Amino acid sequence: MQSEGGEKAERYSSGGLVSGVVGLVAVAAMLGYGLVSDRDGFAPWAYPALLFAGVLVWAVLLRPAVLLHRDEVELRNVLHSRFIPFARITSVQINQMTVVVVDEDRFVGSGFGRSRLTINRDAKAGPGARPEEHSVGWLVEEKVRRRMKPHDAFTERGEVRRVWALPEIVALAVLGVATLVALLVG
């Protein structure tokens, strides 16, 4: 369960890191300029709007990822996470997005994937190639497959859980309403 016992989860994400950091720095710079400007600064509604944009950059570009915990995989999406025990997984595929199948249900993780070019390179290398000849996506897929296999009838299968990203949801709702109120009042 979610890194109990101090064990750190392996985190994998693709895209978004550089543009997310640039976006947050840009938001912080604009907020700083608005606060220290010797003129009137920004309109009152611009401050909550910029904070809204910062939370949105965080939620869309930096939060999504695939995390491998000790007993389960976490598909972290924009506004929720799915925790799927390895013992329940029937198949996994990492293409443009990560897809984990449990019985008849498909769960999609948008935070980690491979480009078509990378998928083709991995296919050409084949399963017998050295690990350094494959992409990180292929290696993560293999890690999940290895953790799926050793489970037997005595292993606790656990349940698939959805956990909402409440801090992000609340921040977006509050800042969205604050922006609208400041826009209508000011």
pLDDT digits (tens, 9 = 90+) for 4-46: 555 788 999 987 889 999 999 999 999 999 888 877 778 889 9
Q: Report d(CA 72, CA 92) in Å as an integer.
A: 13
Mean pLDDT of 39-58: 91
Same domain assignment for residues 137 and 85: yes
**Four-residue CA torsion sign, 119, 121, 127, 133:** negative
Q: Report d(CA 138, CA 94) in Å as an integer.
A: 7
In the structure encoding, which two tokens stand for residue 36, read together? 């220290």
Cβ atoms 64, 13 nearer than 8 A: yes
What's the confidence (pLDDT) of residue 32? 92
Residue that the structure tokens 């016992």 belong to: 5
Nearest one of 51, 58, 55, 35 to 178, comparing CA atoms: 51
Mean pLDDT of 40-66: 93
pTM metric for this prediction = 0.86
Same domain assignment for residues 71 and 148: yes
pLDDT of 171-185, one tens digit each? 999 999 999 999 999
Same domain assignment for residues 125 and 180: no
What's the confidence (pLDDT) of residue 150? 55
Same domain assignment for residues 105 and 173: no
Q: Report d(CA 11, CA 25) in Å as an integer.
A: 23
Residue 124 to residues 91, 100, 128, 139, 156: CA-CA distances in angstroms?
21, 23, 11, 15, 37
Same domain assignment for residues 139 and 103: yes
3-state helix, strand, coil in the chain (%, to 5): 50, 20, 35
What's the confidence (pLDDT) of residue 15? 75
In the structure encoding, which two tokens stand for residue 17, read together? 């890191």
What's the confidence (pLDDT) of residue 127? 80
pLDDT of 120-165, one tens digit each? 998 898 888 888 888 999 999 999 999 986 555 566 678 999 999 9
What's the confidence (pLDDT) of residue 14? 83
* Any domain includes 31: yes
Query: What would the DSSP string read from start to end of 85-147?
Result: EGGG-SEEEESSSEEEEETTEEEEETT----HHHHHHHHHH-TTS-GGGS-HHHHHHHHHHHH
Same domain assignment for residues 172 and 150: no
Q: Which residue has the higher pLDDT, 5 or 93?
A: 93
Same domain assignment for residues 71 and 58: no
DSSP 3-state assignment of 46?
A: helix
What's the confidence (pLDDT) of residue 50? 96
What's the confidence (pLDDT) of residue 1? 45
Counted domains in the chain: 2
Same domain assignment for residues 97 and 140: yes
Q: Cα torsion at 44, 45, 46, 47 (round to 10°)?
A: 70
